[in-house]
Structure 1
Amino acid sequence: MMVKALLVDDHAVVRAGLRALLEASGRVDIVGEASSGEEAVTKARKLEPDIVIMDLAMPGMDGIQATRRIAALGIETKVLVLTVHDEDEFLLPALDAGASGFLNKSAADTDLMGALEAVARGHSYLPRRAAALIARREARRRRAGRQAEPEPLSDRERTVIELTARGFSAAEAGREMCLSRKTVEGYISRAKSKLGLANRRDIVHFALESGLLRTEAEE
């Protein structure tokens, strides 16, 4: 499986190291590089890589903003966040922006290829603490009295929630289920309404708690 990737980091030395690591695997084609969030969005639109490997801390448009812009392009490119920042602060914003994976740079030499291929196959790649972080947020929400007992999902609503949590776009989920994109979007909208979910981060949380989605540790 050859994965087309766009490298985004404001440090040329870091990009060079990642390029060497990934190209040595023989399974990744680096189709471009970007040194800023603005450049990442422009090149993602032009090149439509399978995955953008996204740093977070960059001058100007940061990685969270760039991820949100790429997710809004309507292309099938997925974003894998690769950062030195701790997931406690940045995991949930990254998921909310549309990222499909989150990996600390300290683990890049051993885990990057696995994360890249997991995201390319349509899975979410999350750190071991993801479920605990999302559950903690949900507990705060429940204490605030913002969530009632959810209405049960239909089989198709459950399937689209699972696929969305794994990183599938509506178009990709539609092909998987032999449905139109518009029909899938309708199922997603109804499922979110039933469950009281606002965004993709909430969907990932529900999927983790209900067993539809597993973290890297469980894989």
Structure 2
Amino acid sequence: MRVLLVDDHPVVRAGLKALLETTEGVEVVGEASSGEEAVEKARTLEPDIVIMDLAMPGMDGVQATRRITELGLGAKVLVVTIHDEDEYLVPALNAGAAGFLNKSAADTDLVGAVEAVARGHSYLPRHAAALLARRKAQDASDHKRGTDVLSPREVTAIELYASGFSAGETGKEMRLSPKTVEGYLARAKAKLGLHNRRDVVRFALEAGLLRAEDER
């Protein structure tokens, strides 16, 4: 697993690197101290995981996350920040982040967060589901995005897909063909106005179909 560390504080990068280097199969392939440098190194080094700080001079972590996601290289961004999720979680997810971890928990949770994101799962703070639900409740169009518009099988397909299952794996769980599962997912996403896995994960959290990683 190739990791790019992005933080404007060398001491923080050194600490995160020390934590990661104790884990078998994890290689820190590069470091960046700004958003601009992060985007360029993501392009040239093609890491599997980018550990992203948010508060940096110039291009901030949210902007850098969006740029890296738009590169289409398949790198997954895990935001590791001192900032509170109440203000930064939703912007980070909207920018394409696959996970969000507070630096205060990095010494115990960083490796697990990296492994979860690498497996295709989301990794979010304990109160993420409640926070996103509150934000959803403030949305005037909330009633149009509930699970009540989905069939039971569409709900199951969305739940498994949001948990990181492929169409084939979901089909095995539901005892259906992958093509049938893809049909359920396509109809569900069309009903809910969702476009990609990131949208589905966010909806599943908001709807209570998916729990934050550290609540599992």
On whether the aligned pair clears a TM of 0.5, the verdict is yes
Q: What corresponds to 2:93 in structure 1? A: 95
Q: Which amino acid aligns with 1:79?
A: V
CA distance in 1, matches of 2:198, 2:34: 24
Gaps of 5+ in 1: none
CA distance in 2, matches of 1:108, 1:147: 37
Gaps of 5+ in 2: 171-176
Q: 1:153 to 1:53 in 2, by over 3 A?
A: farther
What TM-score comes out, normalization by structure 2 length?
A: 0.81
**Aligned match for 1:215, one of 203, 208, 212:** 212
SS of structure 2 residue aligned to 1:24: coil
Q: What corresponds to 1:17 in structure 2? A: 15
Say whether 1:192 aligns with 2:194.
no
Q: 1:157 to 1:128 in 2, by over 3 A?
A: closer
Q: 1:161 to 1:189 in 2, by over 3 A?
A: farther
Measured after TM superposition, the shift of residue 187 of structure 1 is 7.3
Measured after TM superposition, the shift of residue 12 of structure 1 is 1.2
Q: What corresponds to 2:81 in structure 1? A: 83
Q: 1:57 to 1:160 in 2, by over 3 A?
A: same
Q: 1:145 to 1:102 in 2, by over 3 A?
A: closer
Q: What corresponds to 1:66 in structure 2? A: 64
Measured after TM superposition, the shift of residue 43 of structure 1 is 1.1
For residues 100-119 of structure 1, what are the structure 2 equivalents within 5 Å?
Answer: 100-119=98-117
CA distance in 1, matches of 2:185, 2:58: 33
CA RMSD, Structure 1 to Structure 2 (Å): 2.9
Instruction: Note if contact 1:153-1:194 (Cα within 8 Å) is conserved in structure 2.
Output: no
CA distance in 2, matches of 1:91, 1:155: 30
CA distance in 1, matches of 2:3, 2:15: 14
CA distance in 2, matches of 1:37, 1:193: 34
Q: Which stretch has the larger CA shift, 13-22 or 147-156?
A: 147-156
Measured after TM superposition, the shift of residue 29 of structure 1 is 0.2
Deviations 1:130-186 (CA, angstroms, capped at 9, x unpaired):
011110011111xx24542653258578646743x4568xxxx47867979xxx7x9
